[in-house]
Amino acid sequence: MFSVMLGVDEAIEAAGYDERAYDFGSALHEALTNPLCLDAWMRQRTAFPDDCLAEPPEQRPKGSGR
């Protein structure tokens, strides 16, 4: 399953779409409240604002459990 996910990620990136990793909850909220997200993604622009990006594990506060 992991190899399929990597293949999809590579195909999205190769096609010119926004391939950045987003926090699921933040991106879902943005998508449900801002109808322009789909339009931006379909036009191969950044789909969500930077504050929706997933944080790398080294940037998470200690004790967050994630």
* Domain span holding position 44: 17-55
Long-range contacts of 10-16 (CB under 8 A, 24+ apart): 15/44, 16/44
- d(CA 18, CA 45) in angstroms, rounded, equals 6
Identify whether 39 is part of a domain.
yes
| Predicted TM-score (pTM) of this structure | 0.65
Say how many domains are in the chain: 1
Identify whether 7 is part of a domain.
no
Q: What is the pLDDT of residues 19-35, one digit of tens each?
A: 888 999 999 999 999 99
CB 38 within 8 A of CB 32: no
**Whether the predicted pLDDT of 63 surpasses 60:** no
Identify whether 9 is part of a domain.
no
Identify whether 43 is part of a domain.
yes
Identify whether 48 is part of a domain.
yes
